[in-house]
Amino acid sequence: MSQEIEIGLGKKARLAYSLDDVAIVPSRRTRDPQDVSTAWQIDAYEFDIPVIAAPMDSVTSPETAIEMGRLGGLGVLDLEGLWTRYEDPKPLLDEIATLPEGQATRRMQEIYAEPIKPELITQRLHEIRKAGVTVAGALSPQRTQELYSTVIEAGVDLFVIRGTAVSAEHVSTDHEPLNLKKFIYDLDVPVIVGGATNYTAALHLMRTGAAGVLVGFGGGAVSGTLNTIGLQAPMATAIADIAEARRDYMDESGGRYVQLIADGGMGSSGNFIKAFALGADAVMLGSPLARATEAPGHGMHWGSEARHQTLPRGKRTNVGTVAPLKEILYGPSHQADGTTNFIGALRRAMASTGYVDVKNFQRCSVVVTSSGR
Q: Which of residues 44-63 bind a copy of itself (CB under 8 A)?
A: none
Q: For residues 305 and 313, is the Cβ–Cβ distance under 8 A?
A: yes
Does residue 39 belong to the site contacting a copy of itself (CB under 8 A)?
no
Does residue 238 belong to the site contacting a copy of itself (CB under 8 A)?
yes
Q: For residues 78 and 55, is the Cβ–Cβ distance under 8 A?
A: yes
- Rounded Cα distance, 140 and 132, in Å: 26
Q: Which of residues 84-103 bind a copy of itself (CB under 8 A)?
A: 102
- Rounded Cα distance, 292 and 314, in Å: 21
What does the buried/exposed string (b/e) look like for 305-318 if buried means 16 or more CB atoms within 10 Å of the residue's CB?
bbbbeeebbbbbbe
Does residue 318 belong to the site contacting a copy of itself (CB under 8 A)?
no
Cβ 127 to a copy of itself, closest distance in Å?
A: 32
Cβ 309 to a copy of itself, closest distance in Å?
A: 7
How far is CA 96 from its chain centroid? 22
Question: Which range touches a copy of itself (CB under 8 A), out of 64-72, 257-265, 304-312, 318-326?
Answer: 304-312
Among 122, 352, 359, 360, binds a copy of itself (CB under 8 A): 352
Q: Which of residues 255-274 bind a copy of itself (CB under 8 A)?
A: 268-274
- Rounded Cα distance, 101 and 234, in Å: 27
Specify the DSSP element, H or E, that contains 91. Answer: helix 90-98
3-state secondary structure 331-357: CCCCCCCCCCCHHHHHHHHHHHHCCCE
Does residue 313 belong to the site contacting a copy of itself (CB under 8 A)?
yes
Does residue 349 belong to the site contacting a copy of itself (CB under 8 A)?
yes
Cβ 167 to a copy of itself, closest distance in Å?
A: 4
Q: Which CB atom, from 75 or from 338, has the smaller least distance to a copy of itself?
A: 338
Does residue 311 belong to the site contacting a copy of itself (CB under 8 A)?
yes
Q: Which of residues 104-123 bind a copy of itself (CB under 8 A)?
A: 105-106, 109
The binding track of 203-232 with respect to a copy of itself, each residue x by CB under 8 A or -, is: -x-------------------x-xxxxxxx
Q: Which of 201, 70, 47 is nearest to 128 (CA)?
A: 70
Number of residues this chain uses to bind a copy of itself (CB under 8 A): 118
Does residue 38 belong to the site contacting a copy of itself (CB under 8 A)?
no
* CA dihedral over 291, 37, 235, 225, signed as positive or negative: positive
